Structure 1
């Protein structure tokens, strides 16, 4: 199951829709997560243009009234059959089955809060839900926090946030999926950070052909 994740910083119109479609077609994407979409009305009618066909489904979390946030998950219904949808103000979790492998699992799209208190509350909420679901899990997201000091250059460092993020990953038995080709996912002037990442459990890794 090929997955695409993008902090799109506003889904906009036209050009970005076509960029998404090119990714979907070229990489044969079957699951897509978009965050910081800033959309406050459903994009369901626009998704066909972005996905390229009608064999998809979506789950949306709208941006706030100040146009902050916004999360979208979209998936190929021929590949992934969703049985339960869970969502919060900045996240989506989908329980389902990867059809070709009859693999019951949970896939999530996360957009972390900018502040430590908000992130911690979100992590606790997600941890309780994921432990209750108790299925192999894949999380794609911009967590807005780094895991190690080396993942941040010339920007504010918060050891407490890193420790809480690390403990959350350990509590859930997750593995940090290595990035290839890039070290950082966010940049502003000379500041760089690895804020976007994929996390999965051992069971998902053992079935990595999915």
Structure 2
């Protein structure tokens, strides 16, 4: 999370009219508000964070309080859940910023924890971030496909009733440093109620200019309030 990345993110705020940002792998043991502020423009914002363990992990969620009003949050080392309402909407919206562990056992524990939360926290769910897992062999290129991991991930998606929007821009969202290995480990998963509310939302994977991951932008339209991208 350097100065260049902060500048690029601020540029996207105005370019796409972004209302909610989910950042994974901040790598900050103590993420100061000064650094957090550098990722937003001069308008008001609120945030929730999870500090990294050593130089691994770390999460940051930021949003426009004039669009999204937070009512509840649940945090672990691998996700930030915020529940609230979009202005003008009565239904609760649950936004989960995910950075899944590279350890398969810990990933499975997180799947179970999120399924339990979904049973108790009602509303329209959207989960977005780095899931460190793919669903099918075609979502990897020149990298190993783990059948058991994919089965567990697909079971989690099915049991949670989650769906995906078709992604545009790029087939793969992550590229290794040497450019040889590609995979689609970054996902946006939504519940059926979210999909029914915004069936025409568009998901775009941008060029990898500031990270080895593509930035994903989900564009929705909320009544008279216009676009509300994530």
The TM-score, its normalising length taken from structure 1, stands at 0.90
State whether residues 48 and 54 of structure 1, in contact with CA within 8 Å, keep that contact through their aligned partners in structure 2: no
Alpha-carbon offset, residue 42 of structure 1: 2.7
Partner of 1:81: 69
Alpha-carbon offset, residue 54 of structure 1: 4.0
Residues 1:39 and 2:52 are matched in the alignment: no
Partner of 2:197: 207
Q: What is the CA–CA distance in structure 1 between the aligned matches of 2:36 and 2:88, rounded to whole Å?
A: 24
Partner of 1:198: 188
State whether residues 92 and 122 of structure 2, in contact with CA within 8 Å, keep that contact through their aligned partners in structure 1: no
Q: What is the CA–CA distance in structure 1 between the aligned matches of 2:69 and 2:194, rounded to whole Å?
A: 17
Residues 1:50 and 2:56 are matched in the alignment: no
Could you list the per-position Cα deviations for residues 163-184 of structure 1 after superposition, in whole angstroms to 9, with x for gaps in the alignment?
0000000101000222111100
Give 3-state SS (helix, strand or coil) of 2:170's partner.
coil
Partner of 1:174: 162
User: Any unmatched runs of 5+ in structure 1?
Assistant: 1-10
Alpha-carbon offset, residue 156 of structure 1: 1.2
Once the two structures are superposed, the pairs formed by residues 138-153 of structure 1 within 5 Å of their partners are 138-153=126-141
Could you list the per-position Cα deviations for residues 124-150 of structure 1 after superposition, in whole angstroms to 9, with x for gaps in the alignment?
111111211022101111100001111
Give 3-state SS (helix, strand or coil) of 1:15's partner.
helix
Partner of 2:12: 23
User: Any unmatched runs of 5+ in structure 2?
Assistant: 199-220, 223-230
Equivalenced residue count is 198
State whether residues 141 and 198 of structure 1, in contact with CA within 8 Å, keep that contact through their aligned partners in structure 2: yes
Q: What is the CA–CA distance in structure 2 between the aligned matches of 1:37 and 1:107, rounded to whole Å?
A: 18
* Selected match of 1:135 from 114, 117, 123: 123
Alpha-carbon offset, residue 49 of structure 1: 3.0
Alpha-carbon offset, residue 30 of structure 1: 0.3
Residues 1:61 and 2:50 are matched in the alignment: yes
State whether residues 100 and 130 of structure 2, in contact with CA within 8 Å, keep that contact through their aligned partners in structure 1: yes
Give 3-state SS (helix, strand or coil) of 1:50's partner.
coil
CA RMSD of aligned residues (A): 1.2
The TM-score, its normalising length taken from structure 2, stands at 0.83
Partner of 2:153: 165
